[in-house]
Amino acid sequence: MVCAVNTKETNPGRCVLLVEDNPDGRETLRLLLTLYGCPVEVAADGVEGVHKGLALRPVAAVVDIGLPGLDGYEVAGQLRRALGGNILLIAHTAYDRPEDRERARLAGFDMLVAKPADPLELIQMLRIGANLPLRNPTAQAERSPFDAGAASRQ
């Protein structure tokens, strides 16, 4: 699932932009969000993140701070100036001191989740902050495909 390109005249994309330069971290988070039913678009650096954010107008962006090109603070600032309050910006970073949180807030981030992130914390942030109707993948996993056949025979 990916975002469709949106224009200013259309509704913002109901997806999440993930900006992460670490390929393994990027793929892990992409898979996690997809598992919860969230369309995800990825960017590997700050410049790509800004370009995709402006083109796609996602409902939320999860942005690493230590990015090549433009750092996450610059990405957040540009997206915030262009999209205003129409995007939830979540800093995903190892920088978790009080002064780091304040700098993230001043750059335009709405929330900060420290690495390594608790996946459920990130999902809750997206559910509540961006009003994304994310599903619970364990609810489907608890029902065996064999259950349907047994129910139909009764």
Domain contains 28: yes
Domain contains 43: yes
Domain contains 116: yes
Task: Give residue 138's pLDDT.
Answer: 66
**Distance from C-alpha of 150 to C-alpha of 42, rounded to nearest angstrom:** 41
Task: Give residue 60's pLDDT.
Answer: 96
* Structural domain count of the chain: 1
Gyration radius of the chain over CA positions: 17
Domain contains 128: yes
Task: Give residue 136's pLDDT.
Answer: 76
Residue 52 phi, psi (nearest 5): -70, -40
* CATH code of residue 68: 3.40.50.2300
Strands lying side by side in the sheet with 88-93: 40-43, 13-19, 58-64, 88-93, 111-114
User: Which structural domain, as residue segments, surrounds residue 57?
Assistant: 13-153
Q: Which residues does 67 contact at the CB level (< 8 Å), separation at least 6? A: 19, 20, 21, 45, 46, 49, 75
pLDDT tens string 86-97: 999 999 999 889
Domain contains 66: yes
pLDDT tens string 62-119: 999 999 999 999 999 999 999 999 999 999 999 889 999 999 999 999 999 999 888 8
Domain contains 40: yes
Domain contains 6: no
Residue 93 pairs in a beta bridge with 114
pTM exceeds 0.85, yes or no: no
Q: Is the pLDDT of residue 46 over 50?
A: yes
**Distance from C-alpha of 110 to C-alpha of 141, rounded to nearest angstrom:** 32
Domain contains 3: no
